[in-house]
Amino acid sequence: MPYRAPVADFRFLMDHIVGFSDVAATDTFSEATPDMVDAILTEAAKMSEEVLAPLQRNGDLHPATLENGVVRTSPGFGDGYKAIAEGGWIGMSASPENGGMGLPMTLTTAVNEMMSAACLSLQLNPLMSQGQIEALEHHASDEIKETYLPKLISGEWCGTMNLTEPQAGSDVGALRTKAEPNGDGSYAITGQKIYISWADNDFTENVCHLVLARLPEAVAGTKGISLFMVPKLIPDADGNPGERNDLRVVSLEHKLGLHGSPTAVMEYSGAKGWMVGPENGGMAAMFTMMNNARLGVGVQGIGAADGAYQHALGYAMDRKQGKAPGTGAIIEHADVRRMLAGMKADIFAARAIALMNAVAIDMATATGDASWKARAAFLTPICKAFGTDTGIAVASTGVQIHGGMGFVEETGAAQYSRDVRVTAIYEGTNGIQAMDLVARKMMDGGEIAQSLIEEIQDGAEAAKATHGDMATAVWNAAESLRETTEWLAAQKDLTQRFAGAVAYLRAFARVLGGHAHLQAAMSGDEARGKLATFYINRLLPEHAGLLAEVRTGADNLMSITNDELAA
């Protein structure tokens, strides 16, 4: 079944669920009229369906390779990237001052999902550039902006993020890469970085690396880290790629999936770099890029889920097996239909959360209102973790629907499962997202969480007249979430919070999904109403067990000794 971009779903969510009309009503995004939105979504869908989707299997069957220090990419990826760049899709939300479109992040989020569903391994390249563009817009000097932003936005150059080292994974503060002043405003960067996505390619003129490193005499930990722009080719006086910098791809990782996306070990041997942001301010600058990427990675999970769902749906509609009623295809079996409905319902919920997140970012950008910024920050870990967990679960279910053929590589079902698995790991593991949610994002005592819960309950109250049972179920779920949020915020020992963090994040996502489905049912669309009934009756109840887990605290977990775990 060929990939079909879910343009109607995006349009529906923007019109009925996530409040995109508020974004379009601002002066900043006044050009995002319904006609423009339709044109953007339609053109991105066409590119994703016709150009990117045919490359999906190429990346898996013909992985990127390293030949004499040069990365050779999968067949057709160069043409696919060219279509992305020439369409202006990389710089959709970038500032028009540097060649961007200045469009809402909500639209970029929709387009990124379509590209992820079509060919996740290629889409990861422009996603990295988008994050770098935002980091430079917020933190770089005017000189660096003028040199790099137009090229990154046009796609002539692409960007990467270099954080991880062999001894410094999630503990970024343990990094050892050094940055020594050259005396001319530049720095000599020396060290090794690992797991660098799209560290090199054979289709862009230059690759621009944002590298975290430590200045001489810098304090230990994250407070002593600075950020540097370290290009593969050093721009000359005219801003064109010049001499080769002293950096290299040492090797490419042999990965479970995403074979078309080269993941490299990078070696910097006194490579020339320029500081981005202030001395020892590297983490603040890098977090700008990482937060952009966390929304983007959540959307990658949703895109992979949609690709896997459509693949499984096509198989289920064609495959004849057993004594099924109707067409005789396996889609007529109750259990297969249960799996497909669960996949579709969770994709809708995750997509709604991602667009809620993007709308909050847009409203913060347009209004400068701190409450919108806080809302976006709160939703980001939920979007990242639930979006990628949904991708993994849906892709796994897709294999199950294929039966034995799902375990056979020729069907392509397993690729979705292998490709999406890493999304729960990179840009901060999902466990770290959950810990961030219950700690940093609750430094306000749970105020933002409670405001979201109040909106959910207000929506449920409004729905009770026409959708009584479903509305009551959503209201009650939100009330349980409110009570648990109060309990969680009252815990001063963070270990008590962390023990139930993953369960709390998933419960919050479940309730947000119930809210989105209830609002969809309120639209009067019969098919969406049926899917909402399925979600609220079958999937939403999961929240109760999750919240019970949260409130058990940490004692029964931490009392289990290391020796007992190893016994």
Nearest partner of 209 among 178, 232, 239, 190, judged by Cα: 232
The Cα 437–Cα 495 span in angstroms is 13
Q: Residue 208, exposed/middle/buried by CB under 10 A (0-12, 13-18, 19+)?
A: buried
**Confidence at residue 1, expressed as pLDDT on a 0 to 100 scale:** 67
Question: Residue for token digits 């809620």?
Answer: 356
Nearest partner of 428 among 289, 235, 249, 237, judged by Cα: 289
Domains parsed from the chain with CATH numbers: 158-280 (2.40.110.20), 431-566 (no CATH)
- The first and second tokens of residue 130, run together, are 């988008």
**Confidence at residue 301, expressed as pLDDT on a 0 to 100 scale:** 98
Question: CA 60, 66, 70 angle in degrees (round to 5)?
Answer: 125
470 and 463 Cβ atoms separated by less than 8 Å: yes
The Cα 46–Cα 408 span in angstroms is 30
- Residues in the chain predicted with pLDDT less than 50, given as ranges, are none
What are the tens digits of pLDDT across the range 267-301? 999 999 999 999 999 988 877 777 778 999 999 99
SS3 (DSSP) at 361? helix
Q: What is the DSSP string of 20-59?
A: HHHHHTSSTTTT--HHHHHHHHHHHHHHIIIIIGGGHHHH
The CB-side HSE value for 485 (13 A sphere, CA atoms) comes to 27
- The first and second tokens of residue 370, run together, are 């701190």
- The first and second tokens of residue 270, run together, are 């006194």
302 and 312 Cβ atoms separated by less than 8 Å: no
Q: What are the residue numbers of the active site?
A: 427
457 and 479 Cβ atoms separated by less than 8 Å: yes
DSSP β-bridge partners for residue 179:
189
Q: What is the mean pLDDT of the chain?
A: 96
Nearest partner of 132 among 222, 228, 225, judged by Cα: 228
